Amino acid sequence: MRISGIYACLPTPFDHPGDIYVSKVSYNISRLSDTSLAGFLVSGREGEGSLLADHERLKLWESVKAATDRTVLPAVEAAGVHATVGLIGRAAEMGFEAVVVGLAAVHPSELTSDDTRALYVRSVADRSSLPLVVSLEDGKSENRLSPEQLGSLAQHPRVIGVRVVSSDAAYLRDSVEACGDRAGVFAGSAELLAQGLIDGAAGAMTGFASVAPYLCLSIEEAVRTREFAAAEDLQGVAQPAIEAIRRHGAAGLKYAADLQGYYGGAPRLPLSSLAPQSKADIESAFRDIKS
């Protein structure tokens, strides 16, 4: 299995009591499916995945899968290889074709070296019944792997992709080079969307694509047609909104969704909704960006 293109990392809608708002999940997917997005990443960090119980995670996966014929990539992070492989098994039973595996759920003190982090990923891959996209956040020491380790992991038959959540263009470029044609490398930070694609990334998986899909797809198209200056210009248009979301986290992404005509709603406690000044910051950044 090979994947490429722009994937939207979905925020998770909650209703007033705090349960998954299934009808709003379907509404968001219906609107996003009017675009040429390649698919969706669900229950990741952008979807407040760490605040979901396993039964809620499965309900969310099922709701997204039922609402689209695009590729859906469930995030299966859990604290340990055994629990992660168990979630992968459930995803396989539900008919998913691949999953996203990260390191964020494992305690940093247990992942003290590249070798240990690589062992975690390799152990999951060895036991997995589905292909994996490995999601890395190089800005956090507990989630970082060297490009050389990524190149080694990319040789595993179950690893089909690497998502690099990083603002370091050189690290992303080195990861693309290290993985070669064995596994697609995806920009996980929207601020490197244009540059990552120019440098050979297979695509992007970002929360920004869930609130500004047409802008992300326009950048992808500009790179595909080798109009690199146009891609960089579009990246400049996107940058203030990308930075505003980064400042305000999951609540900022959800408020941006509301502004753009999707359903964001309130984040799950202990996260809190934005203060008026923060909302104004998001509004200003998205003033010229169409949904």
pLDDT-derived band of residue 140, with 50, 70 and 90 as boundaries? Answer: low
- Which has the closest alpha carbon to 152: 187, 104, 117? 117
Lowest-pLDDT choice from 3-7, 9-13, 49-53:
49-53
CATH class of 5-285: alpha beta
Residue pointed to by tokens 């990524």: 150
Whether the model clears a pTM of 0.85, i.e. scores above it, the answer is: yes
Lowest-pLDDT choice from 80-94, 105-119, 202-216:
105-119
What percentage of the chain exceeds 70 in pLDDT? 93
Predicted pLDDT of residue 110:
59
Mean pLDDT of the chain: 93
Every domain of the chain and the residues it spans? 5-285
> In a 10 Å sphere around its CB, with 0-12 CB exposed, 13-18 middle and 19+ buried, how is residue 226 labelled?
exposed
Lowest-pLDDT choice from 1-15, 102-116, 195-209, 240-254:
102-116
Q: How far is CA 45 from CA 50, 130, 183, in A?
A: 7, 21, 22
pLDDT greater at residue 114 or residue 177? 177
- Average pLDDT of the segment spanning 208-230: 98
What percentage of the chain exceeds 90 in pLDDT? 85
pLDDT greater at residue 137 or residue 72? 72
pLDDT-derived band of residue 116, with 50, 70 and 90 as boundaries? Answer: confident
pLDDT-derived band of residue 141, with 50, 70 and 90 as boundaries? Answer: very low
Nearest 5°: CA angle at 185, between 179 and 186? 170
